[in-house]
């Protein structure tokens, strides 16, 4: 079943609904590892969890979690198989942040299967936070990443179909984004976050969304927790949603309340609400929360080796 498909509901944790048993509680010790991701990303969180169990590190876990949709040709919003922009280019945005406040990002990157790992290399091997376009590609190749065609025949066909009716203006609805955002707490209780996307399908060539923006799609502060975002990036960027959520949590809000307040910031400020934004937050106690504008946002958790998909509460019910 696609992540974007509405899922059957069966119970409640706070204002989120548990979709699968066995159930998890919404708290854990600060040192108890957990990995959570936007949308229905069970393979991603499981794989991230396994990596985190091997190395102990949240940063390794969130990176490995992103690798799964990045390499999946059937995942049309991330990496290989991502739907192209309106000129037929698959352009990738990604960012990563560790518990020390280090961050790395790539934007408008083409031809590299794992942009999240290029973002990590930017963080760890350069004095910069963000590399873009041709410069990001050159850096990736210098680092040993291989260039390849990410436009699958299926995505090319979908783009060719879209062109027949194309009005050459942004198409924005909850059907054309599924970005993966991840948050993890490692064995030492440290937090990290990551995000990877091919962005909005059929976006203008050169468009960069929130996904590589530190504080937009991802923010972590090891004193407080972390947040990540999916949805129409323009509104996440205009409100710096993940940073806002972490600051709300710093002021004492629960992850759930902080996500709700950040969504309300968008809803109140911008009249047009026919788009989706979804937020996910995790505090240092291991409590999590999620909230979206539209129905249909869900997220995945792996904790104690158990994985669940949970439907988020939403403003438009
Ligand atoms: N946030 C992404 C972007 O605006 C899209 C998504 O979440 O799918 O590029």
Contact residues for 271 (Cβ-Cβ < 8 A; gap 6+): none
Tell me the per-residue pLDDT of 33-59, one tens digit each, with 9 for 90 and over: 999 999 999 999 999 999 999 999 999
Identify the DSSP state of 306. E
Q: What rounded mean pLDDT belongs to the chain?
A: 89
What pTM does this model have?
0.90
pLDDT at 178 over 90: no
Q: How far apart are CA 202 and CA 308, in angstroms?
A: 32
pLDDT at 173 over 50: no
Tell me the per-residue pLDDT of 77-123, one tens digit each, with 9 for 90 and over: 999 999 999 999 999 999 999 999 999 999 999 999 999 999 999 99
Residue 3 in any domain: the answer is: no
Can you give the CATH number for the domain in which 128 is found? 3.60.20.30
pLDDT score for 272:
65
Residue 27 in any domain: the answer is: no
Residue 167 in any domain: the answer is: yes
- Look up the domain containing 56 and give its range: 34-314
Residue nearest to atom 9 of ligand 1 (CA): 199
Residue 84 in any domain: the answer is: yes
Quote the number of domains for the chain. 1
Tell me the per-residue pLDDT of 269-309, one tens digit each, with 9 for 90 and over: 997 678 899 999 999 999 999 999 999 999 999 999 999 99
Residue 13 in any domain: the answer is: no
Query: Of 179, 300, 302, 307, which is the active-site residue?
Result: 179
Q: Is 75 in the pocket of ligand 1 (CB under 6 A)?
A: no
176 CA closest ligand 1 atom index: 8
Residue 21 in any domain: the answer is: no
Q: Is 79 in the pocket of ligand 1 (CB under 6 A)?
A: no
Residue 15 in any domain: the answer is: no
Q: Which of 79, 199, 237 to mutate to test the pocket of ligand 1 (most atoms within 8 A of CB)?
A: 199
Residue 302 in any domain: the answer is: yes
pLDDT score for 271:
77
278 CA closest ligand 1 atom index: 7
Residue nearest to atom 8 of ligand 1 (CA): 177
Q: How far apart are CA 194 and CA 180, in angstroms?
A: 8
For 268, counting Cβ atoms within 10 Å of its Cβ (0-12 exposed, 13-18 middle, 19+ buried), the class is exposed
Residue 268: closest CA among 260, 279, 280, 278: 260
Q: Is 89 in the pocket of ligand 1 (CB under 6 A)?
A: no
Q: Is 199 in the pocket of ligand 1 (CB under 6 A)?
A: yes
Residue 179 among the catalytic residues: yes
């Amino acid at each position: 079943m696609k992540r974007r498909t509405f899922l059957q509901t069966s119970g409640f944790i706070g204002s989120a609904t548990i979709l699968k048993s066995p159930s998890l509680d919404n708290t854990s010790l600060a040192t108890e590892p957990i990995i959570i991701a936007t949308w229905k990303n069970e393979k991603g969180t499981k794989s991230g969890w396994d990596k985190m169990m091997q190395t102990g590190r949240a940063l390794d876990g969130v990176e490995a979690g992103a690798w799964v949709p990045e390499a999946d040709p059937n995942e049309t919003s991330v990496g290989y198989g991502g739907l192209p922009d309106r000129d037929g280019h698959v352009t990738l945005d990604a960012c990563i942040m560790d518990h020390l406040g280090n961050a790395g990002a790539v934007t408008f990157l083409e031809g590299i299967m794992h942009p999240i790992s290029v973002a990590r290399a930017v963080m760890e091997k350069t004095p910069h936070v963000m590399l873009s376009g041709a410069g990001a590609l050159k850096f990736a190749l210098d680092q040993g990443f291989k260039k390849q065609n990410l436009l699958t025949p299926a995505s090319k066909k979908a783009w060719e179909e879209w062109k027949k009716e194309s009005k050459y203006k942004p198409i924005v609805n909850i059907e054309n984004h599924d970005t993966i955002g991840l948050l993890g707490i490692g064995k030492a209780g440290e937090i990290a976050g990551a995000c990877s996307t091919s962005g909005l399908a059929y976006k203008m060539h050169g468009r960069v969304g929130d996904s590589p923006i530190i504080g937009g799609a991802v923010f972590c502060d090891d004193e407080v927790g972390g947040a990540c975002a999916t949805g129409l990036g323009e509104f996440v960027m205009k409100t710096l949603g993940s940073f806002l959520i972490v600051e709300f949590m710093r002021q004492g809000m629960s992850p759930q309340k902080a996500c709700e307040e950040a969504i309300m910031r968008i809803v109140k400020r911008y009249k047009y609400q026919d788009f989706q934004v979804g937020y996910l937050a995790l505090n240092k106690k291991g409590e999590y929360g999620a909230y979206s504008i539209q129905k249909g946002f869900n997220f995945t958790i792996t904790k104690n080796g158990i994985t669940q998909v949970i439907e988020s509460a939403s403003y438009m019910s």
